[in-house]
Structure 1
Amino acid sequence: MRILVVGAGATGGYFGAQLQQAGRDVTFLVRPKRADVLRERGLRITGLGTATVLAPRLVTAAGIDGHYDVVLVSVKATALPAAIDDVAAAVGPRTTVIPFLNGLAHLDALNERFGADAVLGGVVRVLTTLDAEGDIVRLGSLAEIVVGEQRGGTSPRLAQVAEVLSGAGFDFSLAPDIRSAMWHKWVFISTVGALNTLVRGSVGDAVAVPEGDRLGAQIAAEAAAVAAASGYPVPKQTLDNVQAFVTRPGSADTASLYRDLIAGQPTEAEHIFGDLIARARTLGVRTPLLDAATVALRVHEKRIGGE
């Protein structure tokens, strides 16, 4: 099966590289500037005491020459509209589109363009970032992909997807209720991102000051309340794990959104937070801490937009 990975950044680049090393037929759809970097340096993955350099097969939007069997959409939400236009020529009547974005708003955009029957739900968990040279740096061993039908249940298509994506050096699983999995990840990333944004620091920075050990748990409770009101309650053990994560003394953990914030880059503020608090308003759920983080991020976006 032909796999097209849309984006070769910290997430798409890592999983695409793993699939390539496992012998899968992988092509990366990238913008010309990223293509130049990858052709010059190769697709490099470092961190955790290892280093890998691959020669990836690259294509730009103008060079797409046919349909692919599986399209993995791995771009930030801010780049999604352009990515949808770029990848359109690669999506045919039998193509399966699997997005790896945060939140849920991206499903509406992809469904509208390609049809809901073509699009699966997806969740990825990986600890990677891009360094100044454009290389992928692993920050931890976690690497997982979960996919499922938007409507739930199983299908022959899922079995085909599992065959091509499993056994490639990362954890892979199918979810009978992928929307629940996506909501639960949304609760996690919004909690960590809001905590980092509000304290302008890591989890450990928050926990190290009086009352700081309560803030993360309070944010998690707000996000979980929105999920529950939306019909996707977070299991107690899952919520306990989120709250434990954001109350660990000495933790250097930060969300990728926060790393973009302190670097002066655009963030996924509206996709992760704006959409979440809008749903909260509709459902009558109070989210004062998430609201505060959203406002702070919107101020940031306005500032960099005016530069």
Structure 2
Amino acid sequence: MKILLFGRGVMATQYGWALEKAGNEVEFYVRPGRAAHYGDYVDLDLLDGRKHRKGIPVRERWFITMREEISPDHDYDLIFLSVNHEQFEEASKIVGERAGNATILIFNNVWDDQGTVAARLPKDQILWGFPGGGGGFRGKNKLEAGFLKSIYLESAATASSGERHQSVVDLFQQAGFSVSLQKDMYAWYLEHFILNAGMAAQALKMGSYQNMYQSPQYVKPALLLMREMLPMIEAKGRKASFGMRLMLHLPASLVGYGVYKLITGGTLAGAIMERMEDTAYIPHESFAFFPRDVLADARRLGIDLPRLTALEPYFRMKD
């Protein structure tokens, strides 16, 4: 498969590497002038979770191909779109004007309804999914990141094209990933967004994620924030999964301890979180978009979120 990755970001780079190793042709689209800035290689320091639960270390110099222009009649089979939440609108405009006949795989956080999010994209070419990884760049060329075995994808029943859906499932499975299919991808997005919003709000209050993960007691308030935000899912036309409702209605101290152990117990997820914050690749301002967007929607819908409102000074947009 011929794949165009939008931007030379964290997700595009590590999944691009894995997909190229599986025999696919991979290229990056970058803004004019960025190819010279980045140079033609990335020094990878990855934890590859496809064959080991703690991740197999990968350290290599990977030479890449970047494009600063894309013809509308290009021959890419897949466009991989995964950018920071606040960058998506601009990125989708660029991709929409250059989509050609490619399948567009959205690997992004989503909070607004999918029709609004994808307004600039050809709807019959979109597949909705989400990665299982993270990390950051140290300097402009060294990527310190990692990814889990699973990626998330909407089910064939909800996909705009069964053929496009199967081709993407095959692509990732042939590269050694497992594909977790979601019956309602938008409900899954909302749940994930609320998890991010609760963790981000508490981490911003504590000064960093690493400070928050010093004790289960510091994680507990994040769980209480998520519990408070749970009605937002129904207000946006979806129903929270049984697992989500169960987790957020168990004693917050118990769940907080579980999250604390997940992050600090030598797990791959914990190592990825450490790399993401250590590199400071995504600034606190980007994390603030999660609670900020939830609170703005809550006010629009008339839903009271007192815990989140009390933390607003930590994530309010600066003048």
Q: Which has the higher contact order (CA 8 A, sep 6+)?
A: 2
Q: Which residue of 2 aligns with 1:36?
A: 36
Change in 2 beyond 3 A, CA 1:214/1:151? same
Matched, 1:57 2:65: yes
Equivalent residues in 2 for 1:152-171, closer than 5 Å = 152=158, 155-171=162-178
Q: Which residue of 1 aligns with 2:225?
A: 219
For residues 252-280 of structure 1, the C-alpha deviation after alignment (integer angstroms, 9 at most, x for no partner) is: 6669997798986742544x333322332
Q: Which residue of 2 aligns with 1:13?
A: 13
Structure 1 residue corresponding to 2:99, chosen from 45, 68, 91: 91
CA shift for structure 1 position 81:
3.8
Percent identity of paired positions between Structure 1 and Structure 2:
20
Q: Which residue of 1 aligns with 2:212?
A: 205
Change in 2 beyond 3 A, CA 1:89/1:232? closer
Structure 1 residue corresponding to 2:294, chosen from 258, 270, 276: 276
Distance 1:71 1:236 in 2: 33
Distance 1:69 1:180 in 2: 28
CA shift for structure 1 position 30:
1.5
Distance 1:19 1:230 in 2: 35
Q: TM-score, length-normalised on structure 2?
A: 0.76
Residue type at the aligned position of 1:4: L
Distance 1:97 1:62 in 2: 15
1:105 aligned counterpart, secondary structure: coil
1:136 aligned counterpart, secondary structure: strand
CA shift for structure 1 position 108:
4.4
Distance 2:144 2:83 in 1: 17
Distance 1:78 1:188 in 2: 17
Matched, 1:173 2:180: yes
Change in 2 beyond 3 A, CA 1:241/1:161? same
Matched, 1:267 2:266: no
Distance 1:261 1:197 in 2: 14
Change in 2 beyond 3 A, CA 1:235/1:84? closer
Q: TM-score, length-normalised on structure 1?
A: 0.79
Equivalent residues in 2 for 1:229-244, closer than 5 Å = 229-238=235-244
- Worse-superposed segment, 198-207 or 156-165: 198-207
Change in 2 beyond 3 A, CA 1:170/1:163? closer
- Worse-superposed segment, 142-151 or 69-78: 142-151
Unaligned 5+ segments in structure 1 are 303-307
Q: Which residue of 2 aligns with 1:45?
A: 44
Structure 2 residue corresponding to 1:130, chosen from 116, 133, 137: 137
Structure 2 residue corresponding to 1:195, chosen from 162, 186, 202: 202
Report how many residues are paired: 296
Distance 1:262 1:38 in 2: 15
CA shift for structure 1 position 57:
2.1
Unaligned 5+ segments in structure 2 are 48-56, 265-269
1:104 aligned counterpart, secondary structure: coil
2:135 aligned counterpart, secondary structure: strand
Residue type at the aligned position of 2:286: T
Change in 2 beyond 3 A, CA 1:119/1:199? same
CA shift for structure 1 position 9:
1.3
CA shift for structure 1 position 126:
0.5
